[in-house]
């Protein structure tokens, strides 16, 4: 690209010099003819021209005239470019000094200067994007600190409060003492969950979570998971059902990490879908991928909340109470783990059901033939 631009500039300069030289010679001789005819009947003007002719000579006068005309033609041929340079300089100065990255350098001509203007516009757009990302990262960091402080402070305040009552012997009997201890223990457990979620989310964001990949049957894993959650479903007065159109879906991944994903989705389905009375898990094979759908039939998620479900610390319930939601990191962690496995996770919700859909690539069968 650089060599072609340089060649174009050289070629442009060469033909401008050639045209200017030819035009200057033609104009010079035409001017001599015009002057000779205009001064034919004017003795004083003709005498002045003759004195110049005898003083300097014919050749120097013609060369001087051609040189002046050559300069004039070169300026005229490049005047548009000079004007464009001026506009380009003013636009770049306005962007540099005022920081107005919404302005664009005008691209009007089809030459190397217009290419430069186009590249400057690309540079400005990239710089604006980088600055926007930096501001967004700073805002995200501040929100992260605020949310972490809030979520850690709530259970910690309760723990300190109940332990303070115990330390000051402000309880009536052993039953109340055990109640205070149990509450402090429950708050400690919640605090531990918050810290673990935050730690795992931070590791995932920095891509330091190792995946212990192995090939396993996803249908079998989901069956075991549903059995594990049977008691939780019964306590919520719900039923769970696995619906699979295939008996085996072999995928390669980290079973422990994927169990964490589906545990989170199933826990959410139980927590928010209790009114519907059941949770359905669908397993299908679609275009060399395993598709897992966890569907509950409780209250629908508002459409405005759907695009933000997988943002960290986002809760559909804005009350942010500890009894009406988790840490706000579960779905963000789930999405990160699914992404690390090369899959996708989406959510849809209508008046009847809420559907979390996970798509994971299947293990490709080996192409080697037995000998």
- Residue 284 in domain: yes
Q: How many domains does the chain have?
A: 3
pLDDT at 368: 46
Q: Which of 100, 129, 149 is the last residue of a domain?
A: 100
d(CA 8, CA 2): 10
Indicate if 219 and 337 belong to the same structural domain. Answer: yes
In this predicted structure, what is the pLDDT of residue 321? Answer: 47
Please indicate, yes or no, whether residues 16 and 154 belong to a single structural domain of this protein: no
> Which residues does the chain have with pLDDT short of 70?
1-3, 5, 43, 46, 108-112, 144, 206-208, 312-328, 365-371
- At 13 the pLDDT is 85
Is the residue at 123 inside a domain?
no
Contact criterion met (CB below 8 Å) for 292 and 299: no
In a domain? residue 176: yes
pLDDT at 12: 81
Residue at a domain's end among 68, 85, 100: 100
Domain coverage including residue 237: 214-361
CA dihedral defined by 251, 254, 260, 261, rounded to 10 degrees? -40
SS3 content of the chain, % helix, strand, coil (to 5): 65, 10, 25
Question: What CATH code is carried by the domain that includes residue 308?
Answer: 3.30.565.10
How far apart (Å, rounded) are the C-alpha atoms in residues 152 and 197?
A: 12
Rg of the chain over all Cα atoms, to the nearest angstrom: 40
Q: Measuring CA to CA, how many Å separate 10 from each of 79, 317, 340, 341?
A: 18, 68, 53, 54
324 plus 240 within the same structural domain: yes
Which pLDDT value is given to residue 113?
A: 72
Give the pLDDT of residue 109: 64
Phi and psi at residue 100, in whole multiples of 5°? -90, 90
């Amino acid at each position: 690209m650089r060599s072609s631009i340089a060649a174009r500039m050289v070629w442009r300069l060469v033909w401008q010099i050639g045209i200017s030289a030819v035009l200057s010679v033609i104009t010079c001789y035409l001017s001599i003819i015009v002057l000779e005819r205009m001064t034919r009947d004017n003795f004083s003007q003709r005498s002045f021209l003759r004195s110049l002719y005898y003083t300097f000579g014919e050749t120097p006068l013609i060369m001087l005239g051609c040189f002046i005309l050559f300069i004039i033609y070169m300026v005229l041929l490049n005047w548009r470019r000079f004007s464009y340079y001026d506009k380009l300089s003013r636009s770049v100065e306005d962007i540099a000094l005022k920081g107005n990255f919404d302005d664009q350098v005008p691209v009007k001509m089809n030459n190397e200067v217009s290419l430069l203007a186009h590249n400057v516009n690309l540079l400005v757009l990239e710089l604006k994007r980088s600055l926007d990302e930096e501001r967004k990262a700073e805002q995200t960091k501040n929100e992260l600190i605020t949310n972490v402080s809030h979520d850690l402070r709530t259970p910690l305040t309760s723990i300190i409060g109940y332990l303070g009552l115990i330390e000051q012997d402000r309880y009536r009997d052993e039953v109340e003492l055990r109640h205070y201890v149990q509450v402090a223990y429950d708050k400690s457990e919640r605090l531990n969950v918050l810290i673990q979620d935050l730690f795992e989310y931070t590791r995932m964001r920095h891509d330091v979570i190792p995946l212990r990949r192995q090939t396993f049957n996803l249908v079998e894993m989901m069956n075991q998971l549903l059995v594990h959650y049977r008691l939780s479903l019964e306590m919520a007065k719900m039923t769970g059902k696995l619906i699979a159109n295939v008996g085996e879906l072999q995928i390669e991944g980290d079973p422990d990490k994927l169990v964490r994903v589906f545990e989170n989705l199933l826990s959410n389905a139980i927590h928010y879908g209790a009114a519907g009375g059941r949770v359905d898990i669908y397993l299908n094979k679609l275009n060399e991928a395993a598709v897992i759908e966890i569907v509950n039939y409780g209250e629908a998620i508002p459409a405005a909340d759907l695009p933000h479900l997988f943002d960290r610390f986002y809760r559909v319930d804005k009350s942010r109470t500890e009894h009406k939601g988790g840490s706000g990191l579960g779905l963000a962690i789930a999405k990160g783990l699914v992404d690390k496995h090369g899959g996708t996770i989406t959510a849809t919700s209508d008046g009847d059901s809420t559907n979390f859909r996970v798509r994971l690539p299947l293990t490709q069968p080996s192409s080697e033939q037995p000998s």
